[in-house]
Amino acid sequence: MDLRSEHPLWPLRHGLLTVVPPLDADLRCEAVVVGAGITGALAARRLADAGVDCAVIDARDLAQGSTAASTALLQYDIDVPLVELCEKVGPEHAERAYRAGVDAIEHLADLCATLPDCAFARRPSLYLTRDTDDTEFLRSELRARRAAGLDCRWADPAELESTYGLTAAGAIHSSVAAEADPYRLTHHLLRDLIARGVPVHDRTTLLSLKEHDDAVTLTTDRGVIRARWAVMATGYESVEWLPKKVVSLHSTFAVASEPMPPETAWTDRALVWEHADPYLYARWTDDHRLLFGGADVPFKNPAARDALLPQRSEALLKDFTDLWPGHPIEPAFAWAGTFGSTKDGLGYIGAPKGRDRVLFALGFGGNGITYSEIASRIIADTVGGRAHPDADLFSFDR
């Protein structure tokens, strides 16, 4: 699947950071991770930390799929608001899912502290609305979040205008969120794995996967891999290996500005996320670009998605200028990517029915990297024979 259009910011800015050879011989290991984007890199890191003999393969060059198009807003927020998720899965499960996101951001902070130059930074976030009719809903969401123990408060229109320059009717200000450069982070994780002796091979395409009682056999275009476990970290391309449909695909669009004067950034450089459908979101990058996106449409095919890019990027620019008036924005890059949504906004992690040794790390939703971190821990525990306390939240049979 063609997961994104050409010219996303991160690969253009950094180039090919890590070059590895394709698989050139048959391979045996305890666990093979299919996918060398941020999800696969995090999963392989956790497996290696647990002493698991693992390997990583990818059909593309490293981090050139969805990771290259990610805007990397790291939030505990789920696409389905907490008050609605409580109705879908029950209050106990819903609150645990939100708190799992908080824990994931803390784990990512600890991990990034050990890696150089990933542009990780803690930020607050704003979940805002421009519609005065929606403020009561957001206030009920705020009450639910505070009851769940989440650190958040109300921001009124005056504060949003004076502190952020944003024209909105109100917002939930959350203290826990973060940002990163997903491309550099993935490459640093993979370089660390390579330095520790983990085989990492790109340009190696999985052709077939066969599961046995206590092992799996993966046939690629470069050789055969035999392992006790297979970890599928190929994101939206994983659907071809699943027994049933669990995700609806959408096309999403993003714009990055030219670098702006540092003082242009609003106070505390908070992440911005709008309560709307489709929603608008924004963040600042470490080189002072404003990165904003949204304008999602149902996915049809890559050609149709890419044809919409000029119109959608222009609409995004106008929409964000309306939200943040008085600040000229000069676009530098625009791109489109694939985005997935599930019935409850939660990702799918673990083994689906009919599979025992094929584990999926599917971080569908707007907080995909947060889900990827959660998946890395659930998968490492599963391979190690341990039950992760949050595995049931993201199971295929929930």
pLDDT-derived band of residue 363, with 50, 70 and 90 as boundaries? confident
Percent share of the chain, pLDDT over 90? 85
From CA 61, how far away is CA 275, in angstroms rounded? 36
Confidence of residue 6 (pLDDT cuts 50, 70, 90): confident
Domain of residue 279, CATH code: 3.30.9.10
Same domain, 239 and 255: no
Domain that holds residue 303: 123-176+248-341
Q: Are residues 331 and 362 in the same domain?
A: no
User: Are 207 and 305 within one domain?
Assistant: no
Please write the tens of the pLDDT for every residue from 168-206. Answer: 999 999 999 999 999 999 999 999 999 999 999 999 999
- Looking at the chain, which runs of residues are DSSP E strands? 27-34, 54-57, 73-75, 121-129, 152-155, 170-179, 200-201, 206-211, 216-220, 224-232, 248-257, 271-274, 281-284, 290-298, 331-341, 348-350, 358-362
Q: Which two tokens stand for residue 224?
A: 């055969």
Cα dihedral 82→84→89→93 (10° resolution): 10
pLDDT at 207 (0 to 100):
97
> Are 159 and 259 contained in the same domain?
yes
When pLDDT is averaged across residues 156-169 and rounded to a whole number, the result is 98
Residues 284 and 294 occupy one common structural domain? yes
CATH code at position 389:
3.50.50.60
Asked whether residue 152 falls in the same domain as residue 254, the answer is yes
Site of tokens 């991160």: 10
Rounded to an integer, what is the distance from CA 276 to the centroid of its chain? 19
Q: Within a domain: residue 188?
A: yes
Q: Note the pLDDT tens digit of each residue in 54-92.
A: 999 999 999 999 999 999 999 999 999 999 999 999 999
| CA–CA separation, 40 and 218 (whole Å) | 16
Segment 247-260, tens digit of pLDDT: 888 888 999 999 99
Whose structure tokens read 């005056």?
158
For the record, the structure tokens of 254 come out as: 């993003």
Tell me the one-letter amino acid at 16.
L
